[in-house]
Structure 1
Amino acid sequence: MVPGAANAAPQIKSVVPVESLSTIQARGMRGLMESRAAAELSKVLTADDAAMCLGLVVNDAGTYDVATKTGGLDGSIVLEEELSRPENKVFKPIVAKLTTAKKAIDEESIKAEQGPISWADLLVLAAKTSIQMSWRQIKLGKAKDEASAGILTSAYGTNWSVRIGRVDSMTPAPAGRLLSPDPSAEEVQSFFNALGNKNVGESGPFTPKGPFSEKYSFLIWTAAQPDPEKAEEKLATLPVYAEWKKDFDRSRKTVTRNDYEVDFVETFDKLVNLGSTFDNLAYLKPIEVNMKI
């Protein structure tokens, strides 16, 4: 008798459907999709693309109307009708870059039986990837060499996780909901104070602020402009923005830039979930397991 044969138990293969995957299994599959996307995005994007990628996110999410619960970050900005609007046509070149990345991502993901990535998720991951490139570049400028910059980024880099599984909309968002291409500081303030705010029109000492009050609009809108420093100077003509600029300048002068980056990630997270619909089974696939009988 072969040693150990008496103790060997027969096994059968069983398929675990996506609905029955454990949280760890599902997280692992989504992590593979995110890593695959980041790798392909890194091939077509540079740190210089960060403002354009973030601008796409701002203008896709910025169509959200809290009263009707329409618009929001649903990938519709890449549809020709929406992309051709005056406030969006500047993004056509970056969408072309992302189209190249999406083709490569989808090819690999379909082979892996995870399906294509949604445009909504791709916009979020493109912004995250390019902004992280930009932050690394800034830290490289503060460090004595690239190795030191790598240590700064890995040891003191801000934890940045994003949820994926967004469902794309095939319908363009209603027109007229976004800022003009060159808004005043007051227009930026008004727009973001209303964005996602259930208490628009209410006032009083106990009225809660909206999710994108001045602290957060300063962070997100300026970083999405072609010249962020010039955009910050524009907003700083209003005293409330000038105070936030002073606070964030103080953080950005440090080597780790921790306070600025943490607040930025918090703001980004709120923005990319505006109006999004999530498919909890997106990018998951059944798995085979061996079961003893």
Structure 2
Amino acid sequence: MNVSFLSTVSSPLPTLTTCKTTTTTTTTSVGVIRCRKVDTDVSLHRREILNCVGATIGMEMIGSSGSFVEMASAADLIQRRQRSEFLSNVKGTLQIAIKGKPELIPSLLTLALNDSMTYDKATKSGGPNGSVRFSSEISRPENKGLSAALDSLEEVKKEIDSYSKGGPIAYADLIQYAAQSAAKATFLASAIRKCGGNEEKGRLLYTAYGSNGQWGLFDRQFGRTDALEPDPEGRIPQWEKATVQEMKDKFTAIGFGPRQLAVMSAFLGPDQAATEALLATDKDVSPWVEKYQRSRETVSQTDYEVDLITTLTKLSSLGQQINYEAYTYPVRKIELSKLKL
């Protein structure tokens, strides 16, 4: 027999009582007959009674839906853990690949930039969708010299897909996370140089003073969708040949300004120093170039790294609807009846 929780709680409503009257007349001149309450003292107001009843009903509803809430929360936590573990493995694979071919770092950065810069604000098309993988797009003039970086990522993708339980990794994600790993490698290399080439001390320095934790903003954008065809031509300038004004115009078109242009100088072609020298000739960009150059000379590089992470995070998610269930997979159910005890 099911007993409602409400039935086990004594009613907050007082028992109605009748007034007992007497026929004796008071000494007042009007001779009003007054009645007195016999044995009840109502201490709860109407609002308090309603609150009590509402709370009781709410508790009963929560109790009946508790199992559903618990299952939903557990499933969500499982998916988060699956994505987190997979992303951690992806980063590990990329770090090893980049360490083996550090000469590809500039190309990996530009590859990610060019895949994102196809975004068109008016049509909401393009963006970091992996379209640069198509032969007709990677062969365009603006992508000259980037084929080796893409080929390297093809090999990395095969390895990642071999251990992925939630399906193959999207090119859109792989290209952007390769840029993240490449950028972090440059910060680590800088820390090692500041420690006289001692790798162990350099890692400790970067861990203690770097902005590694800020990359968590970037990590949330995991679950991009690959394009099914190349993005339209003519949306990206050839960075090595572009004027500062052409660069500014392109960054403005996607919602960025001189500050973001300056901080992304390492992505604008193979020679960062040459790019910064050119950007320094513009009165709008020059102050930011100088700011980041000074920041890179410090131990922490905080201003430079934080602004770079912020800009790259926004750039790598332009026009993308992130699928937060990507790379998750059903948990294998255990049949208790088949367990051997």
- Count of residues in correspondence between the two structures: 257
Q: Which residue of 2 aligns with 1:166?
A: 224
Supply the AA of the counterpart residue of 1:61.
S
Q: Which residue of 1 aligns with 2:47?
A: none
Q: Which residue of 1 aligns with 2:205?
A: 152
| Structure number with bigger Rg | 2
Q: Distance in 1 between matches of 2:74 and 2:139?
A: 42
Q: Which residue of 2 aligns with 1:120?
A: 172
Greater shift in the superposed pair: 240-249 or 266-275: 240-249
Q: Which residue of 2 aligns with 1:275?
A: 319
Asked if the contact 1:61/1:71 (under 8 Å) is kept, the reply is: yes
Q: Which has the higher contact order (CA 8 A, sep 6+)?
A: 1
Q: Which residue of 2 aligns with 1:97?
A: 152
Asked if the contact 2:109/2:266 (under 8 Å) is kept, the reply is: no
Q: Are residues 28 and 134 of structure 1, via their aligned partners in 2, closer, same or farther at CA, if it must alter by over 3 Å?
A: same
Q: Which residue of 1 aligns with 2:244?
A: 185
Residues 14-65 of structure 1: CA distance to partner in whole angstroms, max 9, x if unpaired?
xxxx987544322211112212212222232234332211111111110111
- Residue 244 of structure 2 is aligned to residue 213 of structure 1: no
Can you give the 5+ residue segments of structure 1 that lack an aligned partner in the other structure?
1-17, 196-209
Q: Distance in 2 between matches of 1:230 and 1:55?
A: 15
1:212-291 alignment runs, 5 A limit = 212-288=256-332
Q: Which residue of 2 aligns with 1:194?
A: 253
Residues 221-250 of structure 1: CA distance to partner in whole angstroms, max 9, x if unpaired?
443420001100101100111111121122
- Residue 122 of structure 2 is aligned to residue 67 of structure 1: yes
Q: Are residues 280 and 241 of structure 1, via their aligned partners in 2, closer, same or farther at CA, if it must alter by over 3 Å?
A: same
Asked if the contact 1:83/1:89 (under 8 Å) is kept, the reply is: yes
Q: Distance in 1 between matches of 2:296 and 2:146?
A: 28
Q: Distance in 2 between matches of 1:51 and 1:184?
A: 20
Secondary structure, aligned partner of 1:239: coil
Q: Which residue of 1 aligns with 2:195?
A: 143
Q: Distance in 2 between matches of 1:267 and 1:41?
A: 21
Residues 104-143 of structure 1: CA distance to partner in whole angstroms, max 9, x if unpaired?
000111xxx2111000000011011111111101111111
Q: Distance in 1 between matches of 2:72 and 2:187?
A: 38
Q: Distance in 1 between matches of 2:74 and 2:160?
A: 23
Asked if the contact 1:19/1:281 (under 8 Å) is kept, the reply is: no
1:252 shift after superposition = 0.9
Q: Are residues 84 and 282 of structure 1, via their aligned partners in 2, closer, same or farther at CA, if it must alter by over 3 Å?
A: same
Asked if the contact 1:57/1:127 (under 8 Å) is kept, the reply is: yes
Q: Which residue of 2 aligns with 1:203?
A: none
Q: Distance in 2 between matches of 1:105 and 1:64?
A: 27
1:74 shift after superposition = 0.3
Supply the AA of the counterpart residue of 2:193.
G
1:251 shift after superposition = 1.0
Supply the AA of the counterpart residue of 1:254.
T
Supply the AA of the counterpart residue of 1:238.
D
Asked if the contact 2:130/2:172 (under 8 Å) is kept, the reply is: yes
Q: Which residue of 2 aligns with 1:175?
A: 233
Asked if the contact 1:52/1:224 (under 8 Å) is kept, the reply is: no
Q: Distance in 2 between matches of 1:120 and 1:221?
A: 22
Supply the AA of the counterpart residue of 1:65.
D
TM-score by length of 1: 0.82
Asked if the contact 1:48/1:134 (under 8 Å) is kept, the reply is: no
Supply the AA of the counterpart residue of 1:137.
A
Q: Which residue of 2 aligns with 1:25?
A: 78
Q: Distance in 1 between matches of 2:72 and 2:247?
A: 43
Q: Are residues 19 and 171 of structure 1, via their aligned partners in 2, closer, same or farther at CA, if it must alter by over 3 Å?
A: farther
1:289 shift after superposition = 6.3
Q: Which residue of 2 aligns with 1:84?
A: 139
Q: Distance in 1 between matches of 2:167 and 2:332?
A: 18
